[in-house]
Copies of this chain bind each other. A is one copy, B any other.
């Protein structure tokens, strides 16, 4: 349920209403929109009468029910306004959201050694990326495959962060590693295979770093939003939703089916920012550029693209990684589409 306040409502009245609603057993959350303040309410609202609520204060314009099963993540909960996720990086604050330029996250599947991760960071930064991705802990189908360099890789990410000024996104697989990862990472990734690892969701929701939530391989959009709801319900409002391809009957040419229609669908359902990962989404480097361009044209807020200095020798996901040269070219192509939809920012404007 949400309480929409009239324009110009006094701060003290908003506080008073929130306190009163707390005594009703509800959890009020104040959301400051462009024009109005909205008080989001979570709790047992099923039995409440909106009209009765409205009588609490003459400053209340409207009381509306959130009809979706997901509450805090729903667009209605913010009365239709998009939210943004602001992340401090050495090079300045980067904003993920509908009213900001497209953010590009790039980097290798896994952190292999210091030279490669620092070089990659510098290359993708020069091309216009503002975040570095790179796995320290890798979810691998086989127990005998390379599992990531773990804790030592975190240090290499820190070095790359310092050398390039990029923000860092890396995956948590085990809640026991969360503190270590949160020390280094600017955004913490929950991978597709853990999208419904509810224990982990509660724990990333209870810490302050923004969370990148990848869609599960066969998760419906509703299930994905409910997973995000776990994080918001635990106290962390900074969630970015990342589509990375779903599993369908045809995996012969593309490894997954990149579901780009989530862009308009999520836009209408949620206020959270959207990311598209065409590298996992297709599984093949040669399909990544076309899908990246499509994602920007369709209105994505950010892209995650795998780049490796030498894809043929990558310890994981080589076939879907771009070379730095191909990535440079792609960024040029993206800037053309990005400008056409007024979502591109000259690299230089990213100030400290």
A residues neighboring B (CB under 8 Å): 42, 69, 71, 139-144, 173-176, 193-194, 196-199, 202, 217-218, 220-223, 226, 229-230, 233-234, 246-254, 257-261, 263-265, 268-269, 281-282, 286-287, 289-291, 293-299, 336-337, 339-341
Contacts and interface: CB of A to CB of B under 8 A. Distances in A.
Contacts of A233: 143-144
Contacts of A290: 261, 263-264, 297-299
B249 A247 contact: yes
A200 to B, nearest CB: 8
B298 A291 contact: yes
Given A141-B226, A263-B290, A269 B253 contact: yes
Say how many copies of this protein the assembly contains.
4
Nearest to A138: B198
Of A198, A217, A218, A281, chain B has the most CB atoms within 10 Å of the CB of A198
Nearest to A197: B197
A286 to B, nearest CB: 7
A297 B248 contact: no
B220 A250 contact: yes
Contacts of A176: 175, 199
Contacts of A259: 248, 257
A264 B248 contact: no
B250 A246 contact: yes
Of A144, A222, A226, A299, chain B has the most CB atoms within 10 Å of the CB of A144
